Amino acid sequence: MNQRKVIVNWLLLIGLSMMWGFSFFFMKKGLEAFSPVEVGALRVFIAFCTLFPFLIFFHKKMPAKVFLYTAIAGILGSGVPPMLFSYAQQHISTSVAGILNTTTPLFALIFGVLIFGVPAKWRQLVGVVIGIVGAITIILYTGDVELKFEAKYSLLVVLASSCYGMSGNILKSKVMQYDIHPIQISILGFLFIGPIAGVYLLNNGTFNRIMTEDLAQEKLKYLLILGTFGTAIAMFFFNWMVQRTSALFASFTTYLIPFFAILIGMIFLKEQLNIQQVTGFAVILIGVIVANKKVEEI
């Protein structure tokens, strides 16, 4: 592989990590005016509106089964996680959400082995076990009112991370084998869930609140950034990176996401971490590193 391609791959990795690292902050700000479902729906609908016009230029025909797999990957990768993260971040900090999202590569490996027939070495299985121990270390923390942490809601972040892991595998094994542009894949991923989110927002009166309430208008700007850059553009870059590399390498964004999430949380939200959460984070990273010590496909 030439040096230029490797550099582009790593730039995509870092850029995605920054986008998604900031996403936790934008969700937190959006929750100051909207419910968790509204935040998730607005994020999806804004991303859909951002990507849909590009369908004019990217509408290459594809087999029906590919469309189905793309829709499933879109629901798992772009539809379900925003709702889960929004609910979770009412009760846990931005930093902890970013930390637990680090389990995504572990789920990508687990699903790859169990469902998609990806061969695994004993070292990778050991890494998965280590990572799970790290996640449990955080989840079993009894909670702290001052730190705004309720352990049971951290499971929602873990579930969202598992959705990301499954989505990446579906895209790589069932969709990326065809000559389909990453933008078209991104558009099709939102084609089903975007209109549903829009109908929900309309029936729920969310659009009316945005037109009439100052707080809703003020916080909408965070969700516009989240939906446009943290979801639509980020999903395009993610699909492009999966196509260029592998689902496993693309999931490495979770190495860097927590650092951005923690930094933003501490600076702008005055969040804190305790020793058990930091320890859990370290153990998860060790597990991910052990499981992916050598990436053959970059």
Collapsing DSSP to helix, strand or coil, 16 comes out as helix
Measured between alpha carbons, how far is 130 from 290 in angstroms, rounded to an integer?
9
- Residue 297: its pLDDT value, please? 42
Cβ atoms of residues 289 and 127 within 8 Å: yes
Query: Could you identify the residue written with the tokens 């990301």?
Result: 164
What is the residue-level pLDDT of the chain in tens, covering all 298 positions?
Answer: 578 888 888 888 888 888 888 999 999 999 999 999 999 999 999 999 999 998 888 777 778 888 899 989 999 998 999 999 999 998 888 888 988 888 888 898 899 999 998 888 888 889 888 988 988 888 776 455 444 456 778 889 999 999 999 998 998 888 888 878 778 888 888 988 999 999 999 999 999 999 999 999 999 999 999 999 998 888 888 778 877 777 667 767 777 888 888 888 888 888 888 888 888 889 988 988 888 665 444 4
What DSSP character marks residue 289?
Answer: H
Binning the chain into helix, strand and coil, the percentages to the nearest 5 are: 80, 0, 20
Cβ atoms of residues 143 and 150 within 8 Å: yes
- Residue 293: its pLDDT value, please? 65
Q: Which residues pair with 149 in a beta bridge?
A: 144
Q: Which residue, among 230, 257, 220, has the nearest Cα to 14 in the 3D structure?
A: 257
Q: What is the pTM of this model?
A: 0.85
Any idea where the domains of the chain sit in the sequence?
Answer: 3-291
- Residue 247: its pLDDT value, please? 60
- Residues in the chain, how many? 298
Collapsing DSSP to helix, strand or coil, 149 comes out as strand
Collapsing DSSP to helix, strand or coil, 161 comes out as helix
In DSSP notation, 85-111 reads: HHHHTTTS-HHHHHHHGGGHHHHHHHH
What DSSP character marks residue 133?
Answer: H
Sign of the alpha-carbon torsion through 16, 19, 21, 23:
negative
What does the block give as tokens for 141?
């923390």
